[in-house]
Amino acid sequence: MPETRESMAYDVVIVGGGPAGLAAAIRLKQMSSDISVCLLEKGSEIGAHILSGAVLDPKALNELIPDWKAKGAPVETRVTQDRFWFFTQSSAIALPHVLFPPLMSNRGNYIVSLSNLCKWLGQQAEALGVEIYPGFPAHDLIVEDGVVKGVITGDLGVAKDGHHKDSYTPGMELRGKYTLFAEGARGSLSKQLGAKFGLQEGREPQKFGIGLKELWELPAAQHQKGLVLHGMGWPLSNDTGGGLFMYHWGDNFCSIGFVVHLNYKNPWLDPFGEFQRAKTHPAIAKMLSGGKRIGYGARAITEGGTQSVPKLSFPGGALIGCAAGFVNLPRIKGSHNAMKTGMLAAEAAAAAVQAGRAGDALEDYDRAYVQSWVAKDLYLVRNAKPLWSRLGSLLALPLIGLDMWTNQLFGISLFGTLGHGEPDFATLKPAAGSVKIAYPKPDGHLTFDRASSLFLSGTNHEEDQPVHLKLRDPGIPISVNLPEYAEPAQRYCPAGVYEVIEESTGPRFQINAQNCVHCKTCDIKDPAQNITWVTPEGGGGPNYTNM
């Protein structure tokens, strides 16, 4: 007998409770309290899966909730110092501000926990009447006659072998006249939508980085509230993009993180190991000494910029925020653009609902994006990523600076608009010809192993459930990836999910799915594109606090 599911209908369904989804939800209710809005979030609560830097450009928040200060938004630490360092192994060279055009300035910005800001935005949305369901991942699309009609939440109570446990509850259908996808970088349903509606056609491939982050508490004497520090160079080799960030905020908090561009070539590279090494630089170690690490996590970040922005709307819905990819890479900022695109899509959806429409493509949103300050924000920095990928850090840095200056001052670029070339999964070189990288052993004070890090992420999944990291061909990790690339999943996964275990019968690929922090790196970087990340049972995943 076919299974019956509960079904609920709304004007607008929103998938994902990050800055994009929450800003969209709030804007919809601001446009009309009569519009019914439901928001699904896979984390156990709003903010539980949000990991960011984060230096917030408050531009979008000012537009969305102008009196956010009076309403008690957790946006308190103003940026007071803005430093940029180039690291060699033993020294940190401060780069003068004159190298960077005004668009790079952090004046007027705030250091926040984006996770906390999302919690607060969630409260604002609920106060306006948005129905928020945390712990409910949108697992499948409802597509009828070529139109997205909503989503189906994940089933509960399915055992690892697929049988239904006593606790089995089928997922619910949430139907909407429009569905906005705000899943963030490499959304699992957004990826399906991209393929189904050809949203990336005629665009450059999306590019990504992996961002790893720790939260520290520093001794008061070392805490420089309002300090923003960005660094590049050591320990990454010249042909690997990425860098370090360190933000001092709140009561002695220090957010320190490391981004590695996922178009790296050396399969021996371990982003987690690079992050740990970066902290041992004398200039950084000094700032952290005597401090205590209290949080850890990782998340992919979009880096493709304007060239990679897909078509945003399709029949019945649209992509908003980093599900489409609006991060300004040189500024390492995406949350303001995520919020603004959420607001633009909400305005288009509200107008459509009020006009009695349903299920068409929200083309007004595509047009509004092109006219918006988001598109301008991204256009000015469009060559930063391609130059970095082509030329390596040393040569690219001055040219990126020059390009951003000419763009900002005269509206022109000497390079036109450069493309990105290959997608990130295609950039690895064979392990045999690549230099092995030796990572120092963790000392337990400044540097740590994956297991103790994972503990701080609060990651938890129901153990008896189907593995949510799906292998198209279970043989590929051992038969192809191991001989060719020394199976890089063992190293790029920041949570130790993938292991190659040597047994008497030969090597075996093991997936410790319960460790997953939902960063999505495996879905992006696996050279065979053999791994698909799907949503696990609701509420599973990290439980970030102050991240």
Ligand X SMILES: Cc1cc2nc3c(=O)[nH]c(=O)nc-3n(C[C@H](O)[C@H](O)[C@H](O)COP(=O)(O)OP(=O)(O)OC[C@H]3O[C@@H](n4cnc5c(N)ncnc54)[C@H](O)[C@@H]3O)c2cc1C
**Nearest-approach distance from CB 519 to ligand SF4, in angstroms:** 4
DSSP string, 50-61: -----EE-THHH
**Nearest-approach distance from CB 190 to ligand SF4, in angstroms:** 15
Using CA atoms, how far apart are residues 422 and 206, in angstroms rounded to an integer?
Answer: 10
Tell which positions 208-227 bind ligand X, by CB under 6 A. Answer: 211, 213
Please give the helix or strand (H or E) that residue 115 lies within, else none.
helix 114-127
**Nearest-approach distance from CB 530 to ligand SF4, in angstroms:** 12
Amino acid in position 237: S
82 binds, among ligand X, ligand SF4, none (CB under 5 to 8 A by kind): none
Among 124, 188, 266, 481, binds ligand X (CB under 6 A): 188
17 binds, among ligand X, ligand SF4, none (CB under 5 to 8 A by kind): ligand X
Q: Note whether 524 and 206 are within 8 A (CB).
A: no
Among 247, 493, 537, 543, binds ligand SF4 (CB under 6 A): 493
Q: Note whether 353 and 35 are within 8 A (CB).
A: yes
**54 makes contact with ligand X (CB under 6 A):** yes
Amino acid in position 287: M
**Nearest-approach distance from CB 118 to ligand X, in angstroms:** 7
**497 makes contact with ligand SF4 (CB under 6 A):** yes
205 prior amide bond cis, ω within 30: no
Residue 238 corresponds to which tokens in the numbers above? 């010249």
**Nearest-approach distance from CB 541 to ligand SF4, in angstroms:** 9
Q: Widest CA span of the chain, in angstroms?
A: 70
514 binds, among ligand SF4, ligand X, none (CB under 5 to 8 A by kind): none
**334 makes contact with ligand X (CB under 6 A):** yes
Kindly state the number of chain residues that form the binding site for ligand SF4, as judged by CB under 6 A.
Answer: 13
Among 26, 27, 41, 490, binds ligand X (CB under 6 A): 41
**40 makes contact with ligand X (CB under 6 A):** yes
Using CB under 6 A as the criterion, what x/- string covers residues 243-272 for binding ligand X? --------------x-x-------------
**Nearest-approach distance from CB 233 to ligand X, in angstroms:** 18
Amino acid in position 43: G
Residue 392 corresponds to which tokens in the numbers above? 């390596």
Burial of 202 (0-12, 13-18, 19+ CB in 10 A): exposed
Q: Which residue has the tokens 């103790």?
A: 452
**187 makes contact with ligand X (CB under 6 A):** yes
For residue 318, what are the β-bridge partners?
A: 180, 313
How crowded is the C-beta side of 519, counted as CA atoms within 13 Å? 33
Q: Rg (Cα) of the chain, in Å, rounded? A: 22
Tell which positions 518-537 bind ligand SF4, by CB under 6 A. Answer: 518-522, 533
**Closer residue to ligand SF4 in complex, CB, 381/519:** 519
How crowded is the C-beta side of 268, counted as CA atoms within 13 Å? 12
**Nearest-approach distance from CB 516 to ligand SF4, in angstroms:** 3
Hey, CA dihedral for 122, 126, 129, 133, is it positive or negative? positive
**516 makes contact with ligand SF4 (CB under 6 A):** yes
**149 makes contact with ligand SF4 (CB under 6 A):** no
C-beta atoms surrounding 474 within 10 Å: 12
**297 makes contact with ligand X (CB under 6 A):** no
Binding segment for ligand X among 42-50, 73-81, 395-403, 487-495 (CB under 6 A)?
42-50
497 binds, among ligand SF4, ligand X, none (CB under 5 to 8 A by kind): ligand SF4
Edge-to-edge order in the sheet of strand 92-94? 92-94, 81-87, 227-233, 242-249, 253-261, 208-217, 292-302
Write the CB contacts of 169 (distance below 8 Å, at least 6 apart in sequence).
155, 156, 157
Tell which positions 97-116 bind ligand X, by CB under 6 A. Answer: 114
Amino acid in position 218: L
Among 278, 312, 350, 495, binds ligand SF4 (CB under 6 A): 495
Residue 528 corresponds to which tokens in the numbers above? 């065979």
Q: Note whether 413 and 383 are within 8 A (CB).
A: yes
16 binds, among ligand SF4, ligand X, none (CB under 5 to 8 A by kind): ligand X
384 binds, among ligand SF4, ligand X, none (CB under 5 to 8 A by kind): none
Q: Which residue has the tokens 């926990």?
A: 113
112 binds, among ligand X, ligand SF4, none (CB under 5 to 8 A by kind): none
**Closer residue to ligand SF4 in complex, CB, 86/439:** 439
DSSP string, 70-112: TTT-S--EE--EEEEEEE-SS-EEEPPGGGS-GGG--TT-EE-
Using CB under 6 A as the criterion, what x/- string covers residues 4-23 for binding ligand X? -----------xxxxxxx--
What is the contact surface with ligand X in residues (CB under 6 A)? Answer: 15-21, 40-43, 49-56, 114, 137-138, 182-185, 187-189, 211, 213, 257, 259, 299, 301, 321-323, 327, 332-336, 338, 535
- Chain residues binding ligand SF4 by CB under 6 A are 469, 493-495, 497, 516-522, 533
